[in-house]
Homo-oligomer: A and B are copies of this chain.
Amino acid sequence: MHDQNTKYLLGIDGGGTKCKAIITNMRGVILGTGISGPANPLRGLTLSQNSILAATQQALLDASLAPEEITKLVAGIGLAGINMPHLMQQLKRWKHPFKQAWFTTDMHIACLGAHQGQDGAIIISGTGSSAIAVVEGKQHLLGGHGFLLGDQGSGAWLGLAAIRVVLKSMDGLAPETCLTQLVKTKLATDDLLLVLDKVSQAEPAFFADFAPLVFQAADSGDHVALNLVHNAADYIQTLTEQLLSFQPPGISLIGGLAKPLSPWLSSKCQSQLSQPVSPPEIGAILFAQQQLTAENTK
């Protein structure tokens, strides 16, 4: 039987497509994990809260803990978008079932995970792109803003650029190249109206699915694809330079595009980057531990 005073740590990484939960004991030993649907509060606070609870219940089950033990969890919760003050205010009013809960951005917990709770910086290039430096208690967020206004060098940005090139080529305004062929094969049509029908209302994740084709075409020497990949690499290099101005002890490049983009970065930039130590959900555990420690030393 568990002691009445037993507590556990819960780490939550709530993103736009999925929510990951991890439960550890107070020393950080992993007991169980869970996963559920989208948890980005920009898409609705209730959806976000439900996804957090669903992933947590899975993690409790995986850890052989009863559902009621949710009240013993000390939670560190990282969510996209809660650097917006009104979302943070709403979340702080949530009557959550946890023993305690602290909230921060998904970028913050990813950075804590990458640098094992120490100061550092990360660049994420996945469906979107953004960066953060965490130095001496201060967070410096850079980039992001969605693929219409920003997110340069991300999967959605590369895929969207590739589809724009294909539409131009279908109008006879750009040459057919290896890239346009690859994209049209994946779209499974070369009828302009059908292509427009597929892409007009598409989500970022739809476009990000085309990013691997840009790298494939660049590898075979396609000039349009090379231009896009160089542009993406330039942006990652600019982010790296700007992060260095905050003097973080280390910078990691993470996300789905980290691996394909790395070879295209300058050797100087590659030497400025280090491998991340742990994933974001572990960063959320570290965040909870830091908050507990801060509270106990008040």
**A residues touching B (Cβ–Cβ < 8 Å)?**
83-85, 142-143, 145-146, 148-150, 152, 160, 163-164, 167-168, 171-174, 193, 196, 199-200, 235, 238-239, 242, 245
Contacts and interface: CB of A to CB of B under 8 A. Distances in A.
A195 to B, nearest CB: 9
A145 B167 contact: yes
A171 B238 CA distance: 11
B150 A164 contact: yes
A239 B173 CA distance: 7
A148 B145 contact: no
A245 to B, nearest CB: 7
A13 to B, nearest CB: 23
A18 to B, nearest CB: 23
Nearest to A197: B84
A143 B171 contact: yes
A102 B46 CA distance: 50
A84 B149 contact: no
Contacts of A171: 142-143, 242
Given A172-B245, A173-B142, A245-B172, A200 B149 contact: yes
Given A149-B196, A160-B148, A168-B150, A173 B84 contact: no
A44 to B, nearest CB: 16
Of A152, A173, A196, the most chain B CB neighbours within 10 A belong to A173
A193 B84 contact: yes
A84 B191 CA distance: 12
A287 to B, nearest CB: 23
A200 B168 contact: no
Contacts of A150: 164, 167-168
Nearest to A85: B193
B146 A200 contact: yes
Nearest to A171: B142
10 contacts: A83-B193, A85-B193, A142-B171, A145-B167, A149-B164, A149-B167, A149-B199, A150-B167, A152-B168, A173-B238
Contact of A142 (B85, B172, B193): B172
A192 to B, nearest CB: 9
Contacts of A242: 171-173
A126 B144 CA distance: 29
A150 B239 CA distance: 27
A145 B238 contact: no
Of A149, A150, A163, A168, the most chain B CB neighbours within 10 A belong to A149
B199 A143 contact: no
Contacts of A173: 142-143, 235, 238-239, 242
Given A149-B160, A149-B167, A174-B238, 9 more contacts: A142-B171, A142-B173, A145-B196, A149-B164, A149-B196, A150-B164, A152-B168, A171-B242, A172-B242
